[in-house]
């Protein structure tokens, strides 16, 4: 039967600065019966900072499949379940999708609160075209697949946005520079944090920069399509 009071609420959390959270999100976390989070050790200090002591349960990529149905059942039984990840919007390259599907199957109400997103923050700050864009998640580890995705990004109609590891960034920029050395590119690092930076230049120029200055931290890579230069 559909839940009359229970619900699941996906709550975005800050991508860096811990005060980048809405009043509604804080109220939701305080009033929830349970908060499902990726890493309790990561989330508890953040919640404590905001005076929230709601019980936590782990909900990460290794237990998402089996825990999604359990959380949906709890909500169906009347509990209010808030879902957070280590940073940003649950479900975007993080756990959340399977839980939403489980709730829809059980006719459990699902709410999604607005909030921080590294994808949109990086896009707006990049200076690249924003009228249309594609988010490709994390780039593949294998070079061949990365090359295919980057080639597709250059042929796309809008700006392409990817998450990338700092350990692979120079390799990725090397592939991009081989495909199109003049491709307008942006590397957004450590967004909203103390050492936030945007590096905006051609693929070849950014390759040279990061080859001599090895990158650190969380990275968003943005590539403008060839059509934007016509």
Model confidence pTM above 0.85: yes
Q: What's the pLDDT score for residue 230?
A: 65
Q: Is the pLDDT of residue 1 over 60?
A: no
Q: Is the pLDDT of residue 2 over 70?
A: no
CA-CA distance, 41 to 112, in Å (whole number)?
24
Q: Which CATH number describes the domain made up of 7-112?
A: 3.40.1010.10
Q: Is the pLDDT of residue 4 over 60?
A: no
Q: What's the pLDDT score for residue 82?
A: 98
Mean predicted confidence (pLDDT) in 189-197: 96
- 15-24: pLDDT as tens digits: 999 999 999 9
What share of the chain in percent tops pLDDT 70?
Answer: 98
Q: What's the pLDDT score for residue 227?
A: 86
CA-CA distance, 2 to 103, in Å (whole number)?
10
**Domain boundaries, given as residue ranges, for the chain:** 7-112, 118-229
Q: Is the pLDDT of residue 3 over 50?
A: no
Q: Is the pLDDT of residue 12 over 50?
A: yes
Give 191-194 contacts, CB < 8 A, sequence gap 24+.
191/15, 191/16, 191/118, 191/121, 191/122, 191/125, 191/218, 191/220, 192/14, 192/15, 192/16, 192/17, 192/20, 192/116, 192/121, 193/16, 193/17, 193/217
- 126-161: pLDDT as tens digits: 999 999 999 999 999 999 999 999 999 999 999 999
Mean predicted confidence (pLDDT) in 99-127: 96
Please state which of the four CATH numbers 3.40.50.1820, 3.30.950.10, 3.30.420.40, 3.40.50.720 is assigned to the domain occupying 118-229.
3.30.950.10
Q: What is the mean pLDDT of the chain?
A: 94
């Amino acid at each position: 039967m559909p839940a009359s009071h229970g619900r699941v609420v996906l709550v975005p959390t800050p991508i860096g600065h811990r005060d980048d959270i809405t009043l509604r999100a804080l109220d939701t976390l305080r009033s929830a019966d349970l908060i499902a989070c990726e890493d309790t050790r990561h989330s508890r200090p953040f919640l404590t900072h905001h005076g929230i002591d709601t019980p936590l349960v782990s909900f990460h990529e290794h237990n998402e499949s089996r825990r999604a149905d359990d959380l949906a059942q709890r909500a169906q039984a009347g509990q209010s379940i808030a879902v957070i990840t280590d940073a940003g919007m649950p479900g975007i390259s993080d756990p959340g999708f399977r839980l939403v599907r489980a709730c829809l199957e059980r006719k459990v109400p699902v709410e999604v609160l607005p909030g921080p997103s590294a994808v949109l923050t990086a896009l707006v700050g990049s200076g690249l075209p924003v009228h249309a864009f594609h988010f490709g998640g994390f780039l593949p580890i294998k070079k061949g697949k990365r090359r295919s995705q980057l080639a597709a990004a250059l042929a796309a109609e809008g700006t392409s946005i990817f998450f990338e590891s700092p350990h692979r960034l120079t390799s990725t920029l090397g592939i991009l520079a081989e495909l199109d050395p003049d491709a307008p590119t942006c590397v957004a690092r450590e967004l909203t944090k103390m050492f936030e930076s945007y590096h905006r230049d051609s693929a070849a120029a950014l390759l040279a920069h990061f080859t001599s200055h090895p990158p650190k931290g969380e990275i968003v890579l943005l590539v403008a399509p060839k059509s934007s230069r016509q």
